Chains A and B, each alone.
Chain A
Amino acid sequence: MTAAHQSPAIANPAQPLNVIVATDCGSTTTKAILIEKVGNEYRQTYRGEAPTTVEAPFEDVTRGVLNAIAEIEELSGRTILDGDRIITPNHATQGDPKRGVDIYVSTSSAGGGLQMMVTGVVQNMTGESAQRAALGAGAIVIDVLASNDGRLPYEKIERIRTMRPDMILMSGGTDGGAVTHVVEMAEYIAAADPRPRFGSTYRLPLVYAGNTDARPQIKTILGEKTALDFADNIRPVLERENLTPARNKIHDLFLEHVMQQAPGYKKLIEMAGAPIMPTPAAVGVIMETIAKREGINLIGVDIGGATTDVFSVFNGLFNRTVSANLGMSYSISNVLAEAGLDNIMRWVPFTIDEQTLRNRIKNKMVRPTTIPQSLDELQIEHAIAREALRLALIHHKSLATGLKGVQQERTISDVFEQRTSGKTLIDLLKLDLIVGSGGILSHAPRRIQSMLMMVDAYEPLGVTTLSVDSIFMMPHLGVLSTVNEQAATDVFVRDCMVYLGTCIAPIGQGKDGERCADYEVALPDGRIEKGTLAFGDLKLFSLTRDQQATLTLQPAKQVDLGEGPGQSFARTAKGGVVGLMLDGRGRPLQLPTEQAARVAMLTRWYQAVGLYPAGS
C-alpha cells in the first residue's frame, strides 16, 4: 500500500511502540484489542466490543470505536480516551505509563465492505484476473462483465446501471494488443453512467488496469464521468498476471473516495496512525505472512454472519475469495438454499421434520444475533457451518487457478495426458495448515467441534494441521503488521493462533469395519499405541502443541497416504489442544443415505472424539 494518503496522526518510526490499540469495525460489532509490550514481547491483554455505529441513528463509525475502547479502559484501568480523542503517545516517559497508547490502527468492513464491479475482455482470462485483483484487495465482487460473458450489449449496460458499486476495476487486453474490446466496454460504462453506492454527488472511482495503449481513449470516454485512475496492466502478457499495482490503487481509492463517503470515516482516518485497511485485506496479509514464514501451503477461512472469506497460499501464490452470501446469521438461509436440506441434514445426529428446521433457520436469519441455547440447536448450527465451509471452498477452488488461456509446452511424456490450463491451485494432499476464524469456529464450546467441522467440510488428505483464531484478532494483527511486524508476529504466535492438532486422513474407500491401515503411534511419554484403523473409525490421541508423536502407517493396498496406494508411511506430527486425529472414514467421505444408519454413524463418530456432552 502506498503512503500517499496517510493521516496526520501517522506513526513516528523513531518512537517506540509499547502500547497499541486496534479495532476492527465489522458490519455488526466493533472489536477492540489492547496489545502491550511485556518484557521483550508483545501480548494481547484486553479486549472490548460494542455495536458498530455506521447506521442511523448514530451514522458515525467512531462512536462504536470509542465505545469499544471505553470497554478496554474499564477492564484494564488504563486511560486511553480524552473525550472523543485517543491519547497518543503513551505517557510512560512522563511517568504515567497507564495513560495513552502509542498508536491506534483499524480495519473496516462496516456498511457491507468494499463492493466492486470488475470488467475484462475475455471472461476466464482478464475477467478472472480482474476478479482476483479486486478480491485480493479485500473487495466483494458484485459482478464480472466481459465482452464474451454471453450477455447482449444492452443487457450489460442495464446491469451496470442498476448496480451501485463503490468502485469499478477495468481490465482487458495485453499491452500492445488490440484496443477495440476494452474501449467498447468503456463506452458501455459511460452510457450506463453508474452511480456510487454512497453519496449521489461524487464521481464513482474507476481503476483502469488494462492495455496501456488504450489509456488515451479511456480517458476521453470516462475521464469526465468517473474519478478515473490508472494502474499497470494486470495481464501485461498472456502468460503473466501483475495484480499488485491494481490492488494498491484500489486500496488508495478506497481510502481517498469510498471511505470519505461512509459515515464518520473521515474522523476515523484522522484518529488512526496507519491507513485503514479493508478487513479481508488485513486477514490476507496475515495469511501470506504465516505461509511465507513457515514455508507452508495453507488455507484460511473466516466464516462470518454474512460472508465467508477463503484465503489460500499454495507454492507462494496467494488467493482470496469471498462467498458473499454464505454465513451463519444474515446469510444462514442462503446456505440452506444453496446446499439443500439433505446436505445439511446429513450432519445432524438426530431426526427433525423439514418444516421445523426451515422455520428455525429463517428465524435465525431475521434475528441474527441470537445464539443456540439447546444442544440440538448447536448441532444444527454446526451442520450448517460444515456446508457453508464446504461451499465456500468449492467457490475458492474455482477461482484459485493457474492462468487460463496460456499456451503450454508439451513434451513427449505428456502425449498420453490431456491437461488443460487453469487447473485449481488447491491441492489438499499438499496442504499443510488450515486456519479457521469467525464466531462459529473461534467460539465453539469445545475445540474438537471446530476441528471436526473443518475436517468434515474440507476433507483434508494425508497429514494436515488445523488451528483457529482464538478471539478473532487476525484483522487487527494484519493492519498492525504494516506498522510493526514484530508486534504482530508476537501476538499472533502467543495469543491469536490456537493449534487444534493434526488430522491424518488416508485416501480411499472401503466397507465399514474393513481394514484401512495399521498404525503405530509413538507418544512422547514412551507409550506406543498400536492397532488397526478400520474404515468408519475416528480415533483421537491426546498430544499437546509442544509434543511430537512419531507415526507409522501401513495402509491397505487400495489406500494411499501420499506415498502411493498400499505404500507405508512414516511421519512425525505435532499436537494441539485437541490432539492427533486418525480419520479412517475414507476419502471422499461417505455417509449412509438411510436415515437411521446415518444417525447411528454420526453418533458413533461424535462419541469417539467427545464432540458433545455425554448423553446428548
Chain B
Amino acid sequence: MAHSYTPGLTVTERTTVRRRRILPLPGTVLVKVGDAVRADTAVARAELPGKVVPLNLANQLGIAPDEINDYLVKKEKDSVQKDDVLAENKPFIKWFKTEIRSPITGKVESVSTITGQILLREPPRVLELRGYIDGAVAEVHPDQGVTVESTCSLVQGIFGIGGETSGELIMGVKAPDQPLLPEQLNQSMKGKVVVGGAFLSAATMTRAKELGIIGLVVGGIHDKDLRALLGYDLGVAITGTEQVGFTLILTEGFGTIPMAPKTFALLSAHAGQKASISGATQIRAGVIRPEIIIPHSGPAAATKLAQAEREGIQLGDPVRIIRDPLFGKIGAVSGLPSELRAIPTESEVRVLEVRFPDGTTTVVPRANIEVIEGA
C-alpha cells in the first residue's frame, strides 16, 4: 500500500492556519472579511433556545386532555413569569380551587389537547463565539460563522484534554528530557501556558490547578494520572470539553517520553509570546489533534497552508517510532525495502529501516512510525 504510514504531527516554525469558527445553530456574524481579530474577539453570536419544561395540566387539574383550553389562563405564545397562573379550575366552592403556576419565566410554547400537556420554554441564552487565534477574517459563512487565518508557528500534539484557551507561553524546564516537577511551578505562571519536558505527575497537575495555570504542554503522562485527573477511565479519545482547570497537551504519548527536540526547541524559541492552545482530540472520523498556535505579529502573509499533501515516505525523512519496544525513539529513514518481511509476531508486513542519531539502525513495520511533519 502506497500510504501505509501514519501521517505525522506537524511541528513547524512558519505556516498559515485557517480555523473555522462555526456556531452550533444559525446566528449573526459580527465581523467581516479582512477584519483583524484577536483570540478573545467575539466573531459571531447566536441565541440558544431556552430549556423546555413540560407540565401535564390535564393530570394536575383532573380533567380530560381535550378540555384544557377551557381552563387555560395563559395561551400559546404568551409570556409568563415564574409563579404566574397558567391554568385554573372554577369550582363552586372556592376551597376546591386548583391553580397551576409556572415553574419558570419564559413563554408558552405549545398546548396539546391530545396529551393535556403545556410546554413552557425558558428565554434564549446568548452564545458568543470567540476568534480563538490572533489573525484576520479570511471568510464569512453567512449566519454560521467565520474562518480566521493566521500566520504562525504550529505544534500539533498527540492527545489532549480541555478546551480552547490562550496565554503567554513559558518554559517550565530547561531540557526536553526533564520532568516538570511541582516545585518548578510558581505564582508568576498564573494564566500562562507552561511547557514541560518528558513527564509530569499528578502532583504537578494539582499544583498547576492551584496556581491557575491555564495550559500544560508535556511529552507524556501516565494513564493512571489521567484517570485520577478526570475521575474516570477515558474509553474513547474524543476530548475537548473536559473541565479540569487547565488544558493539557501531550506531544509524544503515554509514559515518560522526552519531548521531540524539534518541538522543544520551537516552543523555547517562542517563550514569552502569546499562544492559543486547544486540547480537543478526536482520533476517529475526522482526526482532530490538540494544537499550540503561536501567531506571528503583522498581517497574515501568504505562506504555505499546513497539512499539505505528502507523497509517501522518503529516505531521510525524520520519523518517530510509535510502538513498543522502541516507542518514542526518533531517527531518520535509512532504508525502504519493498518486499514483505516477517516480524517476531510472524506477521508479514512492509517495513522500513531507521537510523538513530548514534548511528545504530533498526527495522520496524511501516505502520509503526510517524513522519515528523513540517521539517
Q: Is the CB of B54 within 8 A of A188?
A: yes
B344 proximal to A (CB < 8 A): yes
Q: Assuming the A-B contacts A333-B237, A370-B323, A371-B367, are A187 and B115 also in contact, with contact meaning beta carbons closer than 8 angstroms in the complex?
A: yes
Residues of A within 8 A of B284 (CB): 27, 112, 305-306, 330, 368
| B-facing residues in A303-329 (Cβ within 8 Å) | 305-306, 325
Stretch at the interface among A33-41, A49-57, A569-577: A49-57
**Most chain A CB within a 10 A radius of its CB, from B1, B52, B234, B349:** B52
Residues of B within 8 A of A193 (CB): 49
Q: Give the CA-CA distance A40 to B286 in the complex, in Å.
A: 44
A270 proximal to B (CB < 8 A): no
Out of A111, A325, A373, name the residue touching B344 (CB < 8 Å): A373
A200 proximal to B (CB < 8 A): yes
B374 proximal to A (CB < 8 A): no
Q: Is the CB of B3 within 8 A of A51?
A: yes
Shortest Cβ distance from A484 into chain B, in angstroms?
Answer: 29
Shortest Cβ distance from B163 into chain A, in angstroms?
Answer: 17
A191 proximal to B (CB < 8 A): yes
Q: Is the CB of A153 within 8 A of B368?
A: no
Interface SS majority for chain B: loop
Q: Is the CB of B223 within 8 A of A367?
A: no
Q: Is the CB of A56 within 8 A of B322?
A: no
Residues of B within 8 A of A217 (CB): 114
Residues of A within 8 A of B144 (CB): 200
A443 proximal to B (CB < 8 A): yes
Q: Assuming the A-B contacts A187-B117, A362-B223, A367-B6, are A200 and B26 also in contact, with contact meaning beta carbons closer than 8 angstroms in the complex?
A: yes
A2 proximal to B (CB < 8 A): no
Q: Assuming the A-B contacts A55-B287, A179-B114, A359-B255, are A330 and B236 also in contact, with contact meaning beta carbons closer than 8 angstroms in the complex?
A: yes
Residues of A within 8 A of B26 (CB): 200
Shortest Cβ distance from A264 into chain B, in angstroms?
Answer: 14
| B-facing residues in A324-381 (Cβ within 8 Å) | 325, 330-331, 333-334, 336-338, 354-356, 358-363, 365-375, 377-378
Q: Is the CB of A333 within 8 A of B115?
A: no
Q: Is the CB of A187 within 8 A of B112?
A: yes
| A-facing residues in B215-243 (Cβ within 8 Å) | 222-224, 226, 232-237
Chain B residue with Cβ nearest A201: B26
Chain B residue with Cβ nearest A306: B284
Q: Give the CA-CA distance A61 to B117 in the complex, in Å.
A: 46
| B-facing residues in A28-74 (Cβ within 8 Å) | 49-51, 54-57, 71
Shortest Cβ distance from A367 into chain B, in angstroms?
Answer: 5
Q: Assuming the A-B contacts A49-B1, A57-B307, A337-B235, are A366 and B54 also in contact, with contact meaning beta carbons closer than 8 angstroms in the complex?
A: no
Residues of B within 8 A of A443 (CB): 347
B81 proximal to A (CB < 8 A): no
| B-facing residues in A68-102 (Cβ within 8 Å) | 71
Q: Is the CB of A192 within 8 A of B52?
A: yes
Chain A residue with Cβ nearest B144: A200
B300 proximal to A (CB < 8 A): no
Q: Is the CB of B309 within 8 A of A57?
A: yes
Q: Is the CB of B159 within 8 A of A366?
A: yes
Q: Is the CB of A71 within 8 A of B115?
A: no
Interface SS majority for chain A: helix
A157 proximal to B (CB < 8 A): yes
A183 proximal to B (CB < 8 A): yes
B338 proximal to A (CB < 8 A): no
B138 proximal to A (CB < 8 A): no
A158 proximal to B (CB < 8 A): yes
Shortest Cβ distance from A233 into chain B, in angstroms?
Answer: 18
Q: Is the CB of A56 within 8 A of B286?
A: yes
Shortest Cβ distance from B98 into chain A, in angstroms?
Answer: 20
A446 proximal to B (CB < 8 A): yes
Q: Is the CB of A446 within 8 A of B3?
A: no
Q: Give the CA-CA distance A49 to B1 in the complex, in Å.
A: 7
| A-facing residues in B150-208 (Cβ within 8 Å) | 158-159
Q: Is the CB of A369 within 8 A of B6?
A: yes
Residues of A within 8 A of B71 (CB): none
Residues of A within 8 A of B237 (CB): 330, 333, 365-366
A184 proximal to B (CB < 8 A): yes
Chain A residue with Cβ nearest B238: A330
Q: Give the CA-CA distance A192 to B349 in the complex, in Å.
A: 51
Shortest Cβ distance from B116 into chain A, in angstroms?
Answer: 8
Chain B residue with Cβ nearest A366: B159
B339 proximal to A (CB < 8 A): no
Q: Is the CB of A368 within 8 A of B114?
A: no
Q: Give the CA-CA distance A306 to B283 in the complex, in Å.
A: 10
Out of A154, A184, A334, A361, name the residue touching B223 (CB < 8 Å): A361
Shortest Cβ distance from B221 into chain A, in angstroms?
Answer: 9
Q: Give the CA-CA distance A192 to B52 in the complex, in Å.
A: 8
Out of A51, A111, A367, name the residue touching B322 (CB < 8 Å): A367
Chain B residue with Cβ nearest A160: B52
Q: Assuming the A-B contacts A191-B110, A195-B25, A336-B233, are A373 and B115 also in contact, with contact meaning beta carbons closer than 8 angstroms in the complex?
A: no
Q: Is the CB of B323 within 8 A of A371?
A: yes
Q: Is the CB of A445 within 8 A of B254?
A: no
Q: Assuming the A-B contacts A355-B224, A445-B345, are A373 and B1 also in contact, with contact meaning beta carbons closer than 8 angstroms in the complex?
A: no
A-contact bits for B14-45, CB 8 A (1 contact / 0 none): 00000000001110000000000000000000
Q: Assuming the A-B contacts A154-B54, A355-B223, are A366 and B235 also in contact, with contact meaning beta carbons closer than 8 angstroms in the complex?
A: no
| B-facing residues in A156-205 (Cβ within 8 Å) | 157-158, 179-180, 183-184, 187-188, 190-193, 195, 200
A613 proximal to B (CB < 8 A): yes
B-contact bits for A209-220, CB 8 A (1 contact / 0 none): 000000001000
Chain B residue with Cβ nearest A217: B114
Q: Is the CB of B158 within 8 A of A366?
A: yes
Chain A residue with Cβ nearest B4: A369
Residues of A within 8 A of B344 (CB): 373-375
B365 proximal to A (CB < 8 A): yes
Residues of B within 8 A of A330 (CB): 236-237, 283-284
B-contact bits for A370-409, CB 8 A (1 contact / 0 none): 1111110110000000000000000000000000000000
Q: Give the CA-CA distance A354 to B255 in the complex, in Å.
A: 12
Q: Is the CB of A373 within 8 A of B222?
A: no
Q: Assuming the A-B contacts A325-B236, A333-B236, A377-B324, are A366 and B283 also in contact, with contact meaning beta carbons closer than 8 angstroms in the complex?
A: yes
B343 proximal to A (CB < 8 A): yes
B325 proximal to A (CB < 8 A): yes
Q: Assuming the A-B contacts A330-B284, A445-B347, are A370 and B115 also in contact, with contact meaning beta carbons closer than 8 angstroms in the complex?
A: no
Shortest Cβ distance from B223 into chain A, in angstroms?
Answer: 4
Q: Give the CA-CA distance A445 to B342 in the complex, in Å.
A: 10
Q: Is the CB of B345 within 8 A of A375?
A: yes
Chain B residue with Cβ nearest A192: B52
Shortest Cβ distance from A361 into chain B, in angstroms?
Answer: 7
Known interface pairs A191-B121, A359-B253; 11 further A-B residue pairs with C-beta atoms within 8 A, sorted by A's residue number? A56-B286, A111-B285, A154-B54, A183-B112, A333-B237, A337-B234, A354-B224, A355-B223, A362-B223, A368-B283, A445-B346
User: Can you give 14 A-B contacts (C-beta < 8 A)?
Assistant: A71-B1, A179-B114, A187-B115, A191-B52, A330-B284, A333-B234, A337-B233, A338-B235, A368-B283, A371-B323, A373-B323, A373-B343, A373-B344, A373-B365
3 tightest Cβ-Cβ pairs between the two chains A and B: A334-B235, A445-B346, A358-B223
B residues sitting closer than 8 Å to A (CB atoms) are 1-3, 6, 24-26, 49, 51-54, 65, 109-110, 112, 114-115, 117, 119, 121, 144, 158-159, 222-224, 226, 232-237, 253-255, 281, 283-287, 307, 309, 322-325, 327, 343-347, 349, 364-365, 367-368, 370
A residues sitting closer than 8 Å to B (CB atoms) are 27, 49-51, 54-57, 71, 110-112, 153-154, 157-158, 179-180, 183-184, 187-188, 190-193, 195, 200, 217, 305-306, 325, 330-331, 333-334, 336-338, 354-356, 358-363, 365-375, 377-378, 443, 445-446, 613
